[in-house]
């Protein structure tokens, strides 16, 4: 009996090529479109119906079973509500990480197992090695940043068929096999919001709250904003403060709804050599550290590589079980984002960046 | 390519395209402009409107040119101020335009024909607007519009006899029928008629609403007062020119086209049944009315199969057909038309709409039927060998549950 795989198919080229690779490898594949979001918002068309059709077309082309699993309610609760709450608290969450943790590698995984799956699969660029998560072969496309919170149990039952390939090879395979999605425009950013729509999306749910934009050094009022929560530390676009040198958001005072900006790229608030992490999710024992780091204060700090954004370069640091220490100041990432730790190609886990 | 979806769109007739072309370039003038070349364009536009109107037995001045059937329908509903009665199987444009008017749905029979007895009962004194499509866009079922308008006329007379002044207007959406039936507004007895260029060899984005004298419409688009003030905006001159050529051609060839589609349709149905039988499969469920159906329509169902999968299989061989209305396909919404005629969920999920037309030749019937039969056989075999190990497939209604998960 061939092993049964339930593959999440989004209608994109990566999951489509995953389908053909799995089929070629002799798996009994069922493609599943996860319907997580379908609502159009002002200025944002949700292409779920087109994506579903693309996914189903590929499944039929490859003669696979295909199904649609509706996770809209769970997605709203576990991902969207979490995201809105985080923004309300003045933080900058990463909904894609939450979606992988709560929907794809939890609800989808559990439902697939219940339906008789030996494995689940997705089109992510990553490698699963038992319960270990490793960097993808395509360093430029690696998506482990989004996956570090998937459970070890799910990792052990997950296949990432394109994880060993480079993106151009994936596209070439799709084209060679006549898959229409070979030329599909890649979706970027949060799947349902699009690349530039986050503020528009937030404004649909969170009321505007006008407040002042002040210059950090002088406390001078430079302009007004429509809600401090809509802005992220380090942001320089969308402030409408006129020409000249750009201003950067360097501080948010949520209790007074004030946004502090500076023209000084060296403003102390923009830089740090320490990042406090919370809500840790550690996948591996840390080098030079005991496995259970949360209870006892460690004496040594583990040398790690850190990624602070998807596709950002890996930078060296040490991790003492609570905080990351950098030998040189780094540009401070926004609270709520994730720091993901690696040792060579092994993803060690990570945590959520705490407020300074 | 074998294109079997003429109910969704038709290729623009070469003669129509040729006639339109100069109005994009050398004859670009605004018909409202004061100089002579503009006057020529205005004359051509009026003549084109006359041509379109003549095909339905009306005058150019009775038509309001719109951007398509949806707009025509919305404009028609501005005559409704009380309550509307609409057929349960109307196009989404009618249902949506009727929604603010506390519309009641008129039930249909299993073949999609209006339930005239129910209609008679529903046609109470507070109804001031009735909308019944001449031919349904998923089934091709042709409604007995003359009988419906006779009932409407009787209701009007009855109201007058009782001293009631509530008006009563009859609108029909004839989008699908323009190139297949001999339309005449007087014979049909309608007050308002929606027609559309894109389904009869004309360009997309042009339609018209016929307005009988005395039917009070309200403009939805305000501005410079074009189309008697009912639809402002610079006229779509090339579109209307193309519309006119297409309608005139359709009218001229109505008989021969209808005969061709009938032959094609019959050959296809025969071949399909034969091919399916050769593969040990039952004949498909034929939908719609056996007699009162547009000659080019062939709506069928393969209960238990997933029609979208059949479409993707045939698409790989450059054979293009559709599930129900193109607008509803893939959205995971269940066709309200097929629900209204009482089909089961598995019959709906297995439903295909084939519609023949200008892009077809007689020799396409055989290969199309063979390809469809082969696709049905492949899907039927796939369904049978799907091992019932998944939670989804654990029930006897496995195939149905599979389909329905996307409707949940």
Residues B114-154 pLDDT 10s: 999 999 999 999 999 999 999 999 999 999 999 999 999 99
For chain B, percent of residues with pLDDT exceeding 90: 89
Structure tokens at B92: 């989404």
Same-domain check for residues A129 and A54 = yes
What's the CA gap between A353 and B216, in Å, rounded? 66
- As a whole number, mean pLDDT of residues B381-404 equals 47
Same-domain check for residues A9 and A92 = yes
Q: Which of residues 210-239 of A touch B (CB under 8 A)?
A: none
Of the candidates B296, B311, B300, the residue with the CA atom closest to the CA atom of residue B264: B296
Structure tokens at A52: 């579903």
* A180: closest chain B residue by CA: B316
DSSP output for A300-343 = S-EEEEEE-STTPPPEEEEE-SSEEEEEEEEEPPPTTSEEEEEE
pLDDT over 60 (residue B169): yes
Show which of A134, A151, A183 is a domain's final residue. Answer: A183
Quick one: pLDDT band at residue A201, thresholds 50, 70, 90?
confident
Model pLDDT, residue B329: 45
Secondary structure element (H or E) that encloses residue B79, with its range: none
Q: Report yes or no: A97 and A104 within 8 Å, Cβ to Cβ.
A: no
B320 touches chain A (CB under 8 A): no
Same-domain check for residues A149 and A91 = yes
Quick one: pLDDT band at residue A191, thresholds 50, 70, 90?
low
pLDDT over 60 (residue A13): yes
Same-domain check for residues A169 and A214 = no
Structure tokens at A180: 């229409």
Same-domain check for residues A257 and A231 = yes
pLDDT over 80 (residue A275): yes
- What is the SS3 assignment for A207? coil
Q: Which residues contact B282 (CB under 8 A, 6 or more apart)?
A: B276
Same-domain check for residues A233 and A304 = no
Contacts of A53 in chain B (CB under 8 A): 308, 330
Q: Which residue has the higher pLDDT, B161 or A290?
A: B161
- As a whole number, mean pLDDT of residues A129-142 equals 97
Same-domain check for residues A84 and A135 = yes
- As a whole number, mean pLDDT of residues B258-269 equals 97
When computed from its CA atoms, the radius of gyration of chain A, rounded to whole angstroms, is: 22
ipTM of the complex: 0.84
- The minimum CA-CA distance between A226 and chain B, rounded to whole Å, is 35
What's the CA gap between B26 and A211, in Å, rounded? 57
Q: Decide if A202 is inside a domain.
A: no
Residues in chain B: 408
Same-domain check for residues A14 and A56 = yes
Q: Report yes or no: A122 and A8 within 8 Å, Cβ to Cβ.
A: yes
Q: Report yes or no: A33 and A51 within 8 Å, Cβ to Cβ.
A: yes
Model pLDDT, residue A43: 72
A326 touches chain B (CB under 8 A): no
Structure tokens at A239: 């402030």
A3 touches chain B (CB under 8 A): no
Same-domain check for residues A135 and A20 = yes
- As a whole number, mean pLDDT of residues B369-376 equals 98
- The minimum CA-CA distance between B113 and chain A, rounded to whole Å, is 31
Q: Which residues contact B303 (CB under 8 A, 6 or more apart)?
A: B285, B344, B346, B347, B350
Contact A67 B405 (CB under 8 A): yes
- As a whole number, mean pLDDT of residues A13-29 equals 97
Model pLDDT, residue B401: 35
Q: Which residues contact B280 (CB under 8 A, 6 or more apart)?
A: none
Same-domain check for residues A138 and A18 = yes
- What is the tally of structural domains in chain A? 3
Contacts of A23 in chain B (CB under 8 A): none
pLDDT over 80 (residue A245): yes
Q: Report yes or no: B383 and A47 within 8 Å, Cβ to Cβ.
A: no
Secondary structure element (H or E) that encloses residue A149, with its range: none
- The minimum CA-CA distance between A38 and chain B, rounded to whole Å, is 10
- As a whole number, mean pLDDT of residues A68-80 equals 94
Q: Report yes or no: B66 and B221 within 8 Å, Cβ to Cβ.
A: no
What dihedral do alpha carbons A309, A310, A316, A322 form, nearest 10°?
Answer: 60
- As a whole number, mean pLDDT of residues A112-138 equals 98
Quick one: pLDDT band at residue A199, thresholds 50, 70, 90?
confident
When computed from its CA atoms, the radius of gyration of chain B, rounded to whole angstroms, is: 23
Model pLDDT, residue B406: 34
Show which of A149, A183, A217 is a domain's final residue. Answer: A183
Q: Report yes or no: A82 and A98 within 8 Å, Cβ to Cβ.
A: yes
Q: Report yes or no: A179 and A20 within 8 Å, Cβ to Cβ.
A: yes
User: What's the CATH code of the domain at A299?
Assistant: 2.40.30.10
Q: What angle is formed at CA A230 by the lines to CA A226 and CA A235, rounded to 5 degrees?
A: 110
What's the CA gap between B343 and B301, in Å, rounded? 10
pLDDT over 50 (residue B32): yes
Q: What angle is formed at CA B5 by the lines to CA B1 and CA B11, rounded to 5 degrees?
A: 70
Average pLDDT value over all residues in chain B: 92
Q: Decide if A190 is inside a domain.
A: no
User: What's the CATH code of the domain at A167?
Assistant: 3.40.50.620
Model pLDDT, residue B393: 37
Residue carrying the six token digits 């951007």: B67
pLDDT over 60 (residue A195): no
Same-domain check for residues A239 and A318 = no
Model pLDDT, residue A193: 61
Domain that holds residue A325: 272-353
- Using CA atoms, how far residue B165 sits from B128, B168, B214, B306, in Å, is 10, 9, 14, 51
Please give the domain boundaries of chain B with CATH numbers for all domains: 14-252 (3.40.640.10), 254-399 (3.90.1150.10)
- Using CA atoms, how far residue B330 sits from B322, B325, B334, in Å, is 10, 10, 10
What's the CA gap between A356 and A272, in Å, rounded? 9
Q: Which residues contact B354 (CB under 8 A, 6 or more apart)?
A: B4, B5, B268, B297, B298, B299, B300, B321, B322, B368
Q: Which residues contact A334 (CB under 8 A, 6 or more apart)?
A: A91, A92, A232, A233, A234, A353
Q: Report yes or no: A192 and A10 within 8 Å, Cβ to Cβ.
A: no
Q: Decide if A200 is inside a domain.
A: no
Q: Where are the alpha helices (DSSP H) in B233-364?
A: 237-252, 254-278, 307-315, 336-340, 345-349
pLDDT over 80 (residue B289): yes
Structure tokens at A75: 């997605």
Q: Decide if A199 is inside a domain.
A: no
pLDDT over 80 (residue B397): no
Of the candidates B206, B207, B227, the residue with the CA atom closest to the CA atom of residue B217: B227
Model pLDDT, residue B114: 98
- As a whole number, mean pLDDT of residues B363-367 equals 97
Q: Exposure of B124 by Cβ count < 10 A (0-12 exposed, 13-18 middle, 19+ buried)?
A: exposed
Q: Decide if A140 is inside a domain.
A: yes
Contacts of B406 in chain A (CB under 8 A): 35, 52, 68, 70
Model pLDDT, residue A187: 65
Quick one: pLDDT band at residue A182, thresholds 50, 70, 90?
confident
Q: Decide if A33 is inside a domain.
A: yes
Q: Which residue has the higher pLDDT, B89 or B391?
A: B89
Model pLDDT, residue B394: 35
- Using CA atoms, how far residue A115 sits from A20, A201, A215, B379, in Å, is 21, 35, 58, 21
What's the CA gap between B115 and B109, in Å, rounded? 6
Structure tokens at B387: 């091992």
Torsion sign, CA atoms B185, B190, B192, B195:
negative
Contacts of A50 in chain B (CB under 8 A): 330
Please state the three-class secondary structure of A159-188 as a single string. ECCCCCCCHHHHHHHHHHCCCHHHHCCCCC
For chain A, percent of residues with pLDDT exceeding 90: 70
Contact B316 A69 (CB under 8 A): no
Q: Exposure of B393 by Cβ count < 10 A (0-12 exposed, 13-18 middle, 19+ buried)?
A: buried
- The minimum CA-CA distance between A67 and chain B, rounded to whole Å, is 7
Torsion sign, CA atoms B352, B353, B357, B362:
positive
Buried b (16+ CB within 10 A) or exposed e, B206-229: bbbbbbbeebebebeeeeeebbee
Contact B406 A70 (CB under 8 A): yes
Contact B405 A60 (CB under 8 A): no
- What is the SS3 assignment for B192? strand
Q: Exposure of A245 by Cβ count < 10 A (0-12 exposed, 13-18 middle, 19+ buried)?
A: exposed
Q: Which of B80, B200, B298, B327 is catalytic?
A: B327
User: What's the CATH code of the domain at A257?
Assistant: 2.30.30.280
Model pLDDT, residue B405: 36
Q: Which of residues 359-398 of B touch A (CB under 8 A)?
A: 378, 382, 386, 389-392
B353 touches chain A (CB under 8 A): no
Same-domain check for residues A230 and A340 = no
What's the CA gap between B98 and B367, in Å, rounded? 42
Compute how many other C-beta atoms are within 10 angstroms of the C-beta atom of residue B150: 12
pLDDT over 60 (residue A300): yes
Q: Decide if A302 is inside a domain.
A: yes
Contact B330 A57 (CB under 8 A): no
Structure tokens at B230: 């009912």
Which range (A146-150, A288-292, A305-309, A336-340) has the least confidence? A288-292
Q: Decide if A192 is inside a domain.
A: no
Quick one: pLDDT band at residue B392, thresholds 50, 70, 90?
very low
Q: Report yes or no: A108 and A34 within 8 Å, Cβ to Cβ.
A: yes
Quick one: pLDDT band at residue A291, thresholds 50, 70, 90?
low
A66 touches chain B (CB under 8 A): yes
């Amino acid at each position: 009996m061939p092993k049964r795989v339930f593959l999440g198919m989004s209608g994109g080229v990566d999951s489509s090529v995953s389908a053909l690779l799995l089929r070629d490898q002799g798996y009994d594949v069922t493609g599943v479109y996860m319907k997580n979001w379908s609502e159009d918002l002002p200025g944002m068309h949700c292409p779920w119906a087109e994506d579903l059709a693309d996914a189903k077309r590929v499944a039929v082309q490859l003669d696979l079973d295909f199904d649609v699993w509706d996770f809209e309610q769970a997605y709203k609760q576990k991902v969207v509500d979490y995201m809105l709450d985080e923004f309300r608290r003045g933080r900058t969450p990463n909904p894609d990480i939450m979606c992988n943790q709560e929907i794809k590698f939890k609800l989808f995984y559990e439902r697939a197992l219940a339906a008789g799956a030996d494995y689940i699969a997705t089109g992510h660029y990553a490698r699963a090695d038992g319960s270990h998560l490793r960097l993808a072969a395509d360093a430029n496309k690696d998506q482990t940043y989004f996956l570090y919170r998937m459970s070890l149990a799910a990792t052990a039952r997950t296949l990432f068929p394109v994880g060993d390939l480079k993106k151009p090879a994936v596209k070439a395979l799709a084209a060679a096999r006549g898959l229409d999605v070979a030329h599909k425009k890649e979706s970027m950013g949060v799947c349902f919001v699009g690349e530039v729509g986050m503020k528009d999306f937030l404004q649909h749910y969170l009321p505007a709250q006008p407040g002042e934009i002040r210059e950090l050094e002088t406390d001078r009022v430079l302009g007004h904003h429509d809600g401090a929560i809509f802005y992220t530390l380090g942001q320089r676009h969308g402030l409408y403060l006129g020409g000249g040198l750009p201003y950067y958001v360097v501080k948010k005072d949520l209790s007074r709804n004030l946004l502090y900006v500076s023209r000084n790229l060296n403003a102390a608030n923009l830089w740090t050599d320490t990042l406090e992490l919370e809500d840790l999710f550690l996948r591996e024992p840390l080098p030079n550290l005991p496995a259970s780091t949360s209870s006892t204060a460690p004496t040594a700090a583990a040398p790690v590589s850190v990624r602070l954004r998807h596709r950002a370069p890996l930078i060296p640091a040490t991790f003492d079980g609570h905080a990351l220490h950098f030998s040189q100041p780094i540009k401070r990432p926004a609270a709520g984002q994730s720091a993901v730790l690696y040792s060579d190609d092994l993803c060690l886990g990570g945590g959520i960046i705490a407020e300074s | 390519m074998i294109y079997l979806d003429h109910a969704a769109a038709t290729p623009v007739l070469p003669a129509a395209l040729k006639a339109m072309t100069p109005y994009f370039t050398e004859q670009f003038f605004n018909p409202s402009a004061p100089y002579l070349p503009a006057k020529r364009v205005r004359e051509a536009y009026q003549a084109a409107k006359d041509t379109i109107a003549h095909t339905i037995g009306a005058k150019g001045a009775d038509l309001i040119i719109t951007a398509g059937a949806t707009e025509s329908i919305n404009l028609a509903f501005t005559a409704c101020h009380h309550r509307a009665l609409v057929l349960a199987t109307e196009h989404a444009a009618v249902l949506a335009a009727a929604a603010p008017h506390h519309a009641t749905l008129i039930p249909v029979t299993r073949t999609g024909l209006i339930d005239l007895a129910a209609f008679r009962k529903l046609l109470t004194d507070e109804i001031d607007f009735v909308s019944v499509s001449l031919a349904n866009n998923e089934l091709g079922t042709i409604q007995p519009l003359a009988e419906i308008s006779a009932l409407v006329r009787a209701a009007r007379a009855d109201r007058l006899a009782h001293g009631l002044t509530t008006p009563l207007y009859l609108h029909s959406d004839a989008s699908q029928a323009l190139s297949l039936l001999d339309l005449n507004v007087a014979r049909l007895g309608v007050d308002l008629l929606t027609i559309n260029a894109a389904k009869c060899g004309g360009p997309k984005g042009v339609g018209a609403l016929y307005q009988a004298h005395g039917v009070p419409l309200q403009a939805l688009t305000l501005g410079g007062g074009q189309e008697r003030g009912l639809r402002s905006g610079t006229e779509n001159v090339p579109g209307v020119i193309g519309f006119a050529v297409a309608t005139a051609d359709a009218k001229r060839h109505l008989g021969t086209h209808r005969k061709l589609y009938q032959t094609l349709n019959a050959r296809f149905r025969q071949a399909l049944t034969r091919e399916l039988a050769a593969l040990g499969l039952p004949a498909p469920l034929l939908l719609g009315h056996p007699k009162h159906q547009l000659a080019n329509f062939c709506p069928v169902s393969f209960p238990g199969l997933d029609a979208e999968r059949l479409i993707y299989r045939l698409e790989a061989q450059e054979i293009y057909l559709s599930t129900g209305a193109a607008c509803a396909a893939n959205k995971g919404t269940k066709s309200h038309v097929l629900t209204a005629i009482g089909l089961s969920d598995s019959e709906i999920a297995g439903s295909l709409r084939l519609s023949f037309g200008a892009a077809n030749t007689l020799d396409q019937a055989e290969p199309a039927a063979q390809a469809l039969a082969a696709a049905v056989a492949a899907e039927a075999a796939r369904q049978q060998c799907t091992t019932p190990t998944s939670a989804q497939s654990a029930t006897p209604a496995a195939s149905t549950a599979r389909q329905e998960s996307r409707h949940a």
